[in-house]
Amino acid sequence: MLVFRGLPAQIPFPEMTAVTFGNFDGVHLGHQAILRRLVQTAKAKGLRSVVITFFPHPLKILAPERAPTLLQSLEDRLESLEEAFVDCTVVVPFTLDFASLTAQAFLDRLVNNLKMNTLVVGEDARFGAQRQGDISFLRSASARMKFELLVVESQMASDKRISSSRIRKLLAAGEVQEAALLLSRPFSITGEVVRGEGRGRELGFPTANLLSDAETMPMFGVYACQVEAMGKLWLSAVHNGPIPTFGCKRPALEAYIIGFNGELKGHRIRVLFHKFLRPIQKFENSDALRAQIRKDVEETLKFFGQG
Greater pLDDT, 33 or 214? 33
Same domain for 102 and 247: no
Residue 166 included in any domain: no
Greater pLDDT, 243 or 144? 144
What gap in Å lies between CA 293 and CA 202, rounded to an integer?
13
What gap in Å lies between CA 180 and CA 70, rounded to an integer?
16
Query: E strand or H helix at 235, and its extent?
Result: strand 232-243
CA-to-CA separations, 186 to 33, 117, 127, 224, 235, in angstroms, rounded: 18, 35, 30, 11, 13
pLDDT above 90 as % of the chain: 83
Same domain for 127 and 48: yes
Residue 171 included in any domain: no
Same domain for 147 and 216: no
- The tens digit of pLDDT for each residue in 164-211 reads 999 999 999 999 999 999 999 999 999 999 987 767 677 778 999 999
CA-to-CA separations, 285 to 143, 207, 209, 281, in angstroms, rounded: 72, 19, 22, 12
Same domain for 137 and 86: yes
Mean pLDDT of the region 69-89: 96
The C-alpha R_g of the chain, in whole angstroms, comes to: 22
Same domain for 270 and 134: no
Same domain for 49 and 133: yes
CA-to-CA separations, 237 to 196, 222, 225, 265, 300, in angstroms, rounded: 17, 7, 6, 18, 6
Same domain for 203 and 112: no
Same domain for 206 and 125: no
- The tens digit of pLDDT for each residue in 41-66 reads 999 999 999 999 999 999 999 999 99
Beta carbons within 10 angstroms of residue 156's beta carbon: 11
Same domain for 200 and 149: no
pLDDT band at 7 (very low <50, low <70, confident <90, very high): confident
- Residue 9 has a pLDDT of 66
Q: 278: closest CA among 219, 237, 218, 222? A: 222
CA-to-CA separations, 98 to 90, 95, 133, 249, 279, in angstroms, rounded: 14, 5, 14, 41, 44
What gap in Å lies between CA 194 and CA 204, rounded to an integer?
19
Q: 244: closest CA among 282, 211, 212? A: 282
Same domain for 107 and 14: yes
- Residue 201 has a pLDDT of 75
CATH number of the domain encompassing residue 41: 3.40.50.620
pTM of the shown model: 0.93
- The tens digit of pLDDT for each residue in 242-259 reads 988 777 888 889 999 999
- Residue 249 has a pLDDT of 80
What gap in Å lies between CA 258 and CA 298, rounded to an integer?
10
- Residue 307 has a pLDDT of 65
Same domain for 266 and 126: no
What backbone torsions phi and psi does residue 47 show, to the nearest 5 degrees? Answer: -110, 170
Residue 140 included in any domain: yes
CATH number of the domain encompassing residue 258: 2.40.30.30
Same domain for 132 and 202: no
Of 5-14, 77-86, 277-286, minimum mean pLDDT range: 5-14
In the chain, the number of structural domains is: 2
Q: Compute the C-alpha angle 175/267/200, nearest 5°.
A: 65
Domain residues for the domain of 218 are 186-303
